[in-house]
Structure 1
Amino acid sequence: MFSDSTQYTDDPTRHGGRLRSFSHVRGHWATYVYVPVHPKEEFAELLDDLLDVARRNGLHLTKMEEFHISQSQTVILRHHWIQPFVQSLRERLSSVNRFLCVAHRLKVYTNQEKTRTFLGLEVTVGQQQLLDMVSEVDQSLQEFRLETFYQNPSFHVSLAWCVGDMVDLLQGAVRDHLQSMVDDFDDSEILTRFHAEEICCKAGNKVFSIPLR
């Protein structure tokens, strides 16, 4: 049997060179809340084209395994808090209606530690509804004395990432070129719009879905 004092050594090579923001502690679960995004099949072609151009400009990006819009920071929940936290979310979000989002403006982001850079599509339609949901999620976080979301967030769908602070390589002419590719891609207006139909909470390897009305 393992005790809570069991030491865990993180190996960044097991997850693409990423560094953990939190040390691993048994019984503590990394948790975040998000709106899942399920793009149409044609979106993969657009993303491959974007990553190819980035590669030719010296930046090798790794495609995200899944797409979403964050509604919280990553926080740490003790195992016995998970179900009560999810129940709190369900109660607060029970009356939220589904809504349209459009995300077509390319932006470059880094995490707080500047250890990863992300290419993302900023949400330009649906921001107010996302802010309203964040307000509800924040109240659930505060119940458990957890850190709330960022002030004045830039809601976005992360497309791809790389290790380190590589913002300078994706600014200026390169970003303008990538934006023009998004704008000119066939059916781009359709590919960059979707409906927010559920909000999810992922705690460790468990995902809890909360359907919107």
Structure 2
Amino acid sequence: MFPDPDSQHFDDASKHGRRVRNFRHERGNWASYVYAVFHPQEEFGEMLEEVIYAARKHGIVLTKMEEFHISLSQTVIFRHHWIKPFVQSLRERLCSVNRFLCVADQLKVYVNKEKTRTFLGLEVSTGHQQLLDIVSEVDKSLQEFNLETFYENPSFHVSLAWCVGEVTKPLQGTCLLELQKVVDEFEDSDVLTRFYADDIFCKCGNKIMSIPLH
């Protein structure tokens, strides 16, 4: 038997940095998304700390992301019994896709749809077309469950840090140029901002399933 779908969980924003949850939590519903992982080298963390420090000089306090990835779908709600067939559908669609190189080296500012959080990210240059091809397959699997597909013209990126609210204007212009200079002038930045997409992941609630690429 499935849990009662009307059972509610009241979210305590103080437990996650005053961030606002986009979906009401209901038992039996699983917030889910598809993504590729970026495993940074140790020196990447040092570069990011310098970027965050430079932003603080402009009065912008950023919090480093706990993990780094490239989103390949929006966050959608799965029923529990959809998870296995969705992942199986995705495995079949991606079974012949080869691993590929990504380079994410251009800083860009993003804000979520609700304008509750602003992100500083590194936009992907090399690997953009391969990511588009994967998103096309992810969208097809999502459509099998009548779920929302990805953005029409996506800016694939690795989110680095965030802050509450919309602070896009303060981060743009001179500030963003100075932050980009930190990245460009950091030793071996051309190595630190590249990685191979070896697996595609689907996270459903606390469950993470991987789909290896060849």
Post-superposition offset of 1:3: 3.5
Which SS does the other structure have where 1:128 is aligned?
Answer: helix
Provide the C-alpha distance between the structure 1 equivalents of 2:23 and 2:72, rounded to a whole number of angstroms.
19
Provide the C-alpha distance between the structure 2 equivalents of 1:126 and 1:7, rounded to a whole number of angstroms.
41
Post-superposition offset of 1:169: 1.3
Is contact 2:4–2:28 with CA below 8 Å preserved after alignment? no
Which SS does the other structure have where 2:10 is aligned?
Answer: coil
Structure 1 match to 2:68 = 67
Structure 1 match to 2:20 = 19
Post-superposition offset of 1:55: 1.4
Structure 1 match to 2:163 = 162
Which SS does the other structure have where 1:21 is aligned?
Answer: coil
**What letter matches 1:135 in structure 2?**
S
Over the matched positions of the two proteins, sequence identity in percent amounts to 66
Structure 1 stretch displaced more, 183-192 or 54-63: 54-63
Gaps of 5+ in 2: none
Post-superposition offset of 1:123: 0.3
Provide the C-alpha distance between the structure 1 equivalents of 2:15 and 2:83, rounded to a whole number of angstroms.
26
Provide the C-alpha distance between the structure 1 equivalents of 2:197 and 2:6, rounded to a whole number of angstroms.
41
Provide the C-alpha distance between the structure 1 equivalents of 2:103 and 2:4, rounded to a whole number of angstroms.
47
Q: What's the C-alpha RMSD, in Å, of the aligned pairs?
A: 0.8
Post-superposition offset of 1:7: 2.5
Provide the C-alpha distance between the structure 1 equivalents of 2:12 and 2:181, rounded to a whole number of angstroms.
38
In the alignment, does 2:187 pair up with 1:186?
yes
Once the two structures are superposed, what CA deviation does each residue of 1:93-137 show, in whole Å capped at 9, x if it has no partner?
110000001000000000011110000000010100000000000
Which SS does the other structure have where 1:125 is aligned?
Answer: coil
Structure 2 match to 1:46 = 47
Provide the C-alpha distance between the structure 2 equivalents of 1:86 and 1:7, rounded to a whole number of angstroms.
27
What's the TM-score once normalised by structure 2's chain length? 0.97
Post-superposition offset of 1:21: 0.8
Which SS does the other structure have where 2:123 is aligned?
Answer: strand
**What letter matches 2:26 in structure 1?**
V
Post-superposition offset of 1:29: 0.1
Which SS does the other structure have where 2:125 is aligned?
Answer: strand
What's the TM-score once normalised by structure 1's chain length? 0.98
Structure 2 match to 1:91 = 92
Provide the C-alpha distance between the structure 2 equivalents of 1:98 and 1:6, rounded to a whole number of angstroms.
42
Post-superposition offset of 1:31: 0.1
Provide the C-alpha distance between the structure 1 equivalents of 2:8 and 2:203, rounded to a whole number of angstroms.
24
Gaps of 5+ in 1: none
Structure 1 stretch displaced more, 99-108 or 48-57: 48-57
Structure 2 match to 1:114 = 115
Moved over 3 A (4+): none
Structure 2 match to 1:34 = 35
